[in-house]
Structure 1
């Protein structure tokens, strides 16, 4: 029995949201050389970041490296962007750290699997475009909060000590000054300052210099040559772990459900923002939001099976990829393969990298996450935008990312609703054509904007100001929205006028508003259901006929 056309279309749509497409590599014949070069460049930038974010999350440098390899390759193949580079990120490290403090590092691979499944479901459900509705000020606010957390998380490592597991980053940074061995701390601070300084200065010498990698290499060489007594990364795996399903039970799944949901939401937001930014930086072809979600989900699932962390699209590494000339997915695949080579051939050397050098890399990264131009732009905007920006950042720092996003969205929604409500209004207009005796007893009233719960009460008060009339024509052709509260308010307005002996005529009720108007009895509230007109001329003529017949008195 053959499949129906509808089921075939559904399968085809789902396949487009999750499976690689032939046109993913349409330009490969022309661009493979520059794609390989870009992949090498991104791998050089990604190596110190992958190690640093693995440590910062509370898991391990090895987990960060495994994630960059496995998730980087899988997301490159299945994701929705031709140039997205995925792996461990600062935002993911921030949200993982408190989870690791409560549930242990062994829970992270299972979290990656759970969050990955949620992302695949989101992609298959077509929720990719919903993330674009998050206001820019909210996104920039929690980006500022993430930057502050990443910076503060490095303070203990910069002082040669470690923070208490699960402690607020701000409190941990303060505590680190009291527990530091200043003989060691002065050395680690010098390493941090040297790395940070090189990251700032080397790009000015030549933009192509991989500043982070060069700085980390020089810090490692100096530590080895002068036998500096500072903490280092330590032992790393010399091979990729064999894939295995993490152990779990129903109780464990229940405990990790909310953290997994938060991680999935964060991964969706960060990945789609990164893909959108990349699509605007260069002509690298369109990106598919739904496929990006499912691709990132598969990447996190694969990462979890290899003992890695949840992954997201990385804005900084993706930007480097685009600026290096990448045009197809080959560059991100090359990036992952090169990092795999590091695991097999270079793990012994990587183990000697001082933790303070990674702290310097992350501190420099944090200070560049929100540009001064962005902050200046927000200050030039409305006071509400400034409030949303800084409040979202403060809540991110004090609580966590998901709470910050939720509160930021609520504030942004309130501001947006107020703006929409402010656009709504009642305006009296002159009757068209030559003025006739009795026209002064007819009010032609136009409702502008949306008549919804945010504006309904004010519109009712404005209608109450119309007195000394016998007929009111309410023009609805300019009404942009009508919800249940607005329809109920319109019924109350009609009842109020009719009770005062004023005949109500409606003009221009739009087809898209007919259903809610019918549900709340807008037509039934009129004295005569024929008092609904499509033409203004017909409505005015009918109103004048009422004036000629004399005023109507409501029943006592």
Structure 2
């Protein structure tokens, strides 16, 4: 028992094998870490601001959470930090409970994710259908874009207002007033940043376009003396760790928010790690260890004054494309951002908010794959509807509810499809016809007999249009799925037929169905225990003996 417990714990502990490729890959890892750090800087600042927690919190999260997740996580190339999806979830929490609540929510959510990892829930993400994932991503991209509309027009949105009405209100206000004097400046900065980010990668894909666009926009704003809102003062050193104060009253109100954040953190991190595993030659990832690492990362981030962290798909993709093979690249990425805190907070604080808004707007478009959207829309009507419903609920209501509703919609369509493929087929008896064979009904159950198909199958078996039938043989060798409802229905069918004087013979019960049928009482409902057969020839011979009698 002790050895089993030891093996279980060792799964989650960092080990030397995590860095086995380092002797031959350290140069590539360091270079990849530098590249990701440069790319992550404007995104960390932007997501911190858009969440309402602040640019400093975004930067701290990228440093602390990125380092902890790199060491303890289950992926060799995952890069963690603040993300757009998390910023979307945090914004209403900040508006409702204040910035002071974020530290407690972050630690709570981290603890929940740690428990999920230890409990082995990492594989649960495989149950989320592809249309739900893509619909969720599309919804997140739309929200990120809409969140930046106020900053793009140089207007402050009303706190606590939903994203879509807030964006519409800002546009209506600017257009209605017709005062473009201030809005033109911020819109111009956004357009400049977007143009640089779109054009530069065409020259060379390795160019950190977002960072260059932000630097160029900041220099232009300073050179022309434009008075625009900027990031403002940032800490010149990493703050010390402080445990958040626990107020029982506040704790009760924040538990729901922490659960939602934990769910999002787990889903996004596992999806990102799964994508990274398909892109990188480093092999598979450990989903349970990944949850543990992400949970510890959020706990550490909350203690240092940051926000919840998740695996970041965009930064992870940059890391893989830059040649990363070990966790050293993600560690270097955090060290690069740490150097910015100690050496470059002055220049960073002068970055215009509209420049970061431009970065996020372009990023939101890059999150959407037009080819993927076309593939889903053209696949099946049920998958297309699941995709549209998930995206719509994400934008208009709530992110976690969107995933839940999307899974439910997909499950309903999947159950409906399986139920439609389930059927009862009446077969002819093999071999030459014998007198009395017309009084034997040979019925084959195909597909699945479960709660969604049981009643329809029952109606097909209990066929009142053939009153001359004396024996019914039910073939179950082709039955793929059976649940308690299906077994109970089969028991009721047998009792009904036997009550009408019709002998029921069950043939070909599969081993995995035998215990369920016995426990529900199907075998007890047969007239005789010999009416449970293994072969078709045996079942037909016994049925003919009944007819002859």
TM range (shorter): over 0.9
| Structure 2 residue corresponding to 1:205, chosen from 189, 203, 206 | 203
Please tell me whether the aligned partners of residues 272 and 292 of structure 1 are also in contact (alpha carbons under 8 angstroms): yes
Deviation digits for residues 377-397 of structure 1 (CA, Å, limit 9, x no counterpart): 011111111111111111111
| Structure 1 residue corresponding to 2:155, chosen from 161, 178, 184 | 161
- State whether structure 2 residue 447 is matched by structure 1 residue 449: yes
Q: Which residue of 1 aligns with 2:111?
A: 117
Q: Which residue of 2 aligns with 1:147?
A: 141
Q: Which residue of 2 aligns with 1:68?
A: 62
The secondary structure found in structure 2 opposite 1:119 is helix
Please tell me whether the aligned partners of residues 53 and 64 of structure 1 are also in contact (alpha carbons under 8 angstroms): yes
Q: Which residue of 2 aligns with 1:40?
A: 34
Deviation digits for residues 185-214 of structure 1 (CA, Å, limit 9, x no counterpart): 100000000101111111111111111001
CA distance in 2, matches of 1:535, 1:167: 68
Shift of 1:414: 0.3
Stretch deviating more after TM superposition (415-424 or 292-301): 415-424
| Structure 2 residue corresponding to 1:359, chosen from 349, 357, 360 | 357
Q: Which residue of 1 aligns with 2:497?
A: 497
CA distance in 2, matches of 1:174, 1:275: 35
CA distance in 1, matches of 2:238, 2:223: 30
CA distance in 2, matches of 1:215, 1:444: 74
Q: Which residue of 1 aligns with 2:216?
A: 218
Q: Which residue of 1 aligns with 2:194?
A: 196
For structure 2, the residue ranges without an aligned partner over 5 or more in a row are none
CA distance in 1, matches of 2:457, 2:513: 17
- State whether structure 2 residue 6 is matched by structure 1 residue 11: yes
Instruction: Output aligned runs, 1:23-422, within 5 Å.
Output: 23-180=17-174, 182-422=180-420
Deviation digits for residues 480-514 of structure 1 (CA, Å, limit 9, x no counterpart): 12112111110121122212221100012222222
Q: Which residue of 2 aligns with 1:507?
A: 507
Deviation digits for residues 132-178 of structure 1 (CA, Å, limit 9, x no counterpart): 11011111111111111110000000011111111011111122235
The secondary structure found in structure 1 opposite 2:473 is strand
The secondary structure found in structure 2 opposite 1:530 is helix
CA distance in 2, matches of 1:494, 1:178: 68
CA 1:275–1:396: 2 relative to 1, 3 Å = same
CA distance in 2, matches of 1:459, 1:427: 10
Deviation digits for residues 250-297 of structure 1 (CA, Å, limit 9, x no counterpart): 222111111111111111110111011111112112100000001100
Shift of 1:11: 3.1
CA distance in 1, matches of 2:48, 2:265: 16
CA distance in 2, matches of 1:255, 1:384: 37
The secondary structure found in structure 2 opposite 1:182 is coil
Shift of 1:515: 2.4
CA distance in 2, matches of 1:260, 1:430: 61
- State whether structure 2 residue 540 is matched by structure 1 residue 540: yes
Stretch deviating more after TM superposition (177-186 or 240-249): 177-186
CA RMSD of aligned residues (A): 1.2
Paired residues in the alignment total 543
Please tell me whether the aligned partners of residues 153 and 169 of structure 1 are also in contact (alpha carbons under 8 angstroms): yes
Shift of 1:516: 2.1
Q: Which residue of 1 aligns with 2:16?
A: 22
Deviation digits for residues 357-408 of structure 1 (CA, Å, limit 9, x no counterpart): 0000000011111210011001111111111111111111111101111111
| Structure 2 residue corresponding to 1:431, chosen from 413, 426, 429 | 429
Stretch deviating more after TM superposition (500-509 or 332-341): 500-509
The secondary structure found in structure 1 opposite 2:244 is coil
Stretch deviating more after TM superposition (370-379 or 510-519): 510-519
CA distance in 1, matches of 2:283, 2:27: 18
CA distance in 2, matches of 1:469, 1:408: 47
Shift of 1:179: 4.6
Q: Which residue of 2 aligns with 1:552?
A: none
- State whether structure 2 residue 473 is matched by structure 1 residue 478: no
For structure 1, the residue ranges without an aligned partner over 5 or more in a row are 1-5, 550-556
Q: Which residue of 1 aligns with 2:525?
A: 525
Stretch deviating more after TM superposition (495-504 or 39-48): 495-504
CA distance in 2, matches of 1:26, 1:423: 50
CA distance in 1, matches of 2:529, 2:110: 56
Please tell me whether the aligned partners of residues 184 and 229 of structure 1 are also in contact (alpha carbons under 8 angstroms): no
CA distance in 2, matches of 1:283, 1:440: 64
The secondary structure found in structure 2 opposite 1:212 is helix
The secondary structure found in structure 1 opposite 2:504 is strand
Stretch deviating more after TM superposition (64-73 or 514-523): 514-523
